[in-house]
Chains A and B, each alone.
Chain A
Amino acid sequence: MRPAARKAASLGGERVFAWGLLAPCLFFVALFAFYPIARSMFLSLYRIILGLPRLGDPFVGLANYLRLAQDPEAMLALANTCLFVAASTLLELGLGLIIALLMDQAVRGRSLLRAALLIPWAIPTVVTSQMWRFIMSDNYGLLNLALFGGDVAAYRAWLADPFWALAAVILADVWKTSSFAGLIILAGLQTIPAELHEAARIDGAGALRRFIHVTLPALRPALALALLFRTMDAFRVFDLVFVMTQGGPGNATNVLQFYGYQKMFAEGFLGYGAAVAVLVFALVMAVSLVYLVFFRRALFREAA
C-alpha cells in the first residue's frame, strides 16, 4: 500500500475501533434513557388507565396536557416545585460559596475540614430525609428541644404546618447539597492565579475589596455551572418529599415528580402521569437552554 492509502485504512480502522468501544455505552443509554423518554412522550398522548382496560387506550391528542393546565393539584405542585428550586438553589449557591472559601484556605487540618463539610453530600437522601423528619417531629424532635427546652406545651408539629413543611424540605436539601455546589465553586477558586490577589494587595485593596473585585468576577463561570447543575437537580426533587411529607399536609409540599409518581403508580393514570413527567422533562430542558444562552460566554470560556 502507498503511505497515504495505508494512513486512510488505519484511520478507518481507528474509527471502527472507536465506535466499537462506544457501542455498549450507547446501547444502554438508548435502551434505558432515550427510548423510555420518547415512549413517555408518546404515552402522554393517550388515555391509559390501569384497572379500567375496558375503556381501551384511546388516542386523545393533547387532552392530557389541557387537563394538566386546569388541574389545581398539578398547578400547586408546579408552584411548589418552582419555589423549591428557587429557594434551594439560591441558598445552596450562597452557602456553597462560603464552604468553598473555607475549603480553599491553606490551614492545618484542611483535609479533615473538607471531609467534614463533604459528609452531608455523601449521606443517602433517604437517610437525610428520615433524619430531618425526626429532628422536626413534634414530641421527640431536637428542634423543639432546642427552641423550647422543657416547655413541652410549646412543642410544635413542624411537618404538619403547610409553610414549615415546605421550608423543612428546602432546608434538608440545602443541608445535603450545599457542599456539592461548594466543590464546583472550589474548583473555580483554584483557577484564580495568586498573582491577581497579590497585585490587588499591592494596590492597597483590603480583603473585602479583593473578594468583590478579584474573586467574584473570576468565579462567574463556576457559579454559573453550580447554578446550572443545582437547578437541574432541584427540579427533580422526589426522595425528600416521599419520605418527609408524602406531599402533605394537604398538598403543601407536593412537587411535580411526586405528583407524576402518584398518578402513574398509585392511581394507575399512565397517560396522564406521563404528561406530568414530560412536563418536568420539558421544564428541565427549557431552563437549561435558557441558562446556556445566558451564561454561554461564562461556561464556554471555562471549557476552553
Chain B
Amino acid sequence: MRSRGQKAAFWLAAGLAGFFSLAPFLWFVITSLKSQGSVTAIPPTLLPEGSLHFYWSAFAGYGLLGFVLNSLLVAGLTTALTISIATLAAYALARLRLRGTGLVLGLLLAVGMFPQTSLAGPVWRILQALGWLNTYQGLVLPYVTLTLPLGVWILTTFFKELPRELEGAALIDGCNRWQALWRVILPLSAPGVFTAAILVFIYAWNEFFFALLIMSDRARQTLPVGIALFQGQYTMPWGEIAAASTVATLPLVAMVLLFQKRIVSGLSAGAIKG
C-alpha cells in the first residue's frame, strides 16, 4: 500500500469486516452478563450489568458442566484416535511406494462430502446392535471416521514436504521401517500433527448432527446438543443459552488467537495442495 488514501481505505474495510465478524458474538457475550430483568427488556438494553447470574444458573440448573465434560471427553478421544490412525495412513500415502494412493485420497475426499442423513440410519443401527447408543465410544467412532479425511489430507501434505532421504538414512543406520517412522519421521512431524489435531478437535467439539442422533440421554449430550435443546419452562432461557454458548466458544476463540497461523496453513494445505 503506497498512498495515504489506500491505507485509509484498507483500514476502513478491515474495521468493517472485523466489526461484522465479532459484533454478533459479542452481543451474545453481553447478553450472558446481563441480569434476568434486562435480558427480557423491550427495547433491549445495550450494556450488561456484569452479572454472573446466568453462568451460575446454566451450570446449576441446566447441567452445563456435564455438557462441557462430555464435549471434552468426546473431542479429546476423537482427536487422539484420528491423529494416530491418520498419521499411519498419511505416512504410507506420502512416503511409501504404493499403488492406488490417488484412489485412497480421492475416496477419503468423497467421505468428507457424504451427507450426514445418508449415513445416519445405518450408523444408528450398527451402534444399536453393539449396545453403544448413548455411550462415548458410540459417538467417537463415527467422529473418527468423519475426521479422518481432514487428518489424512493435512498430514499427507506435511509428510510429502519432508526430505526424501530421511528414511533411507535411517534404514542404512540399521533401523527397520517401523523405527524409521517412529524415531525419525514422527519427531520431525510434530508441527503437522499439531495442526491436524487442532482442526480435528474443533470439528469434534462443534459437531451436532450425530451427537443429536446418538446421544438422546441428556446426561451424555455434548455442548452443541445441550445448547440446541435448552428449553425453559415458559420462555426461551436466552441468558442461560448465551452463557452456555460463551462457555462453548471461548476455548475456540483462544485456539484461534494462539494458533491462527497453523489453522490458516492447515486449512489451505488440505485444500490447495491436494
| Physical interaction between A and B | yes
Interface, chain A (partner B; CB < 8 A): 11, 13-15, 17-19, 21-22, 24-26, 28-29, 31-37, 39-40, 43, 98-99, 102, 105, 107, 111, 113-120, 122-127, 129-132, 134-135, 137, 139-142, 144-145, 149-150, 152, 155, 175, 179-180, 183-184, 186-188, 191, 207, 222, 225, 229, 232, 235-236, 238-239, 242-243, 257, 260-261, 264-265, 270, 273-274, 276-278, 280-281, 284-285, 288, 302-303
Distance to closest chain A CB from B238 (angstroms) = 6
Given contacts A19-B92, A111-B261, A273-B121, contact A124 B248 (CB under 8 A): yes
- Does B242 count as interface, using CB distance less than 8 angstroms? yes
| Interface secondary structure of B, over-half rule | helix
Assess the B267–A180 pair: CB atoms within 8 A: yes
List residues of chain B with CB within 8 A of the CB of A229.
271
> Which one of A26, A122, A236, A273 has the greatest number of beta carbons of chain B within 10 Å?
A122
Cα-based distance from A113 to B126 in the complex (angstroms): 45
Known: A123-B249, A144-B43. 9 other contacts (CB 8 A): A17-B178, A25-B88, A37-B118, A117-B21, A122-B202, A131-B28, A135-B24, A265-B213, A274-B121
A265: chain B residues at CB < 8 Å are: 120, 213
Chain B residues with CB under 8 Å of chain A are: 1, 6, 10, 13-14, 17-18, 20-22, 24-25, 27-28, 31, 39-44, 85-86, 88-89, 91-93, 96-98, 104, 107-108, 110-111, 113-123, 126, 141-142, 144-146, 148, 152, 177-178, 202, 205-206, 208-209, 212-213, 223-225, 227-228, 238, 241-242, 245, 248-249, 252-253, 255-257, 260-261, 263-264, 267-268, 271-274
> With the chains together, A126 CA to B223 CA distance in Å?
9
Q: Given the known A-B contacts A39-B122, A152-B42, A239-B208, are A24 and B249 also in contact in the complex, defined by CB atoms under 8 Å?
A: no
> Given A21-B88, A207-B6, A288-B113: A36 and B224 within 8 A (CB)?
no
Query: Pick the contact of A124 from B31, B44, B89, B224 — CB < 8 Å?
Result: B224
Contact: A118 with B256, CB < 8 Å? yes
In the complex, the number of residue pairs spanning A and B with C-beta atoms less than 8 Å apart equals: 281
- In the complex, which residues of chain B have a beta carbon less than 8 angstroms from the beta carbon of A236? 113, 115-116
Q: CB within 8 A of B148: which of A29, A117, A284?
A: A29
B14–A102 CB distance below 8 A: yes
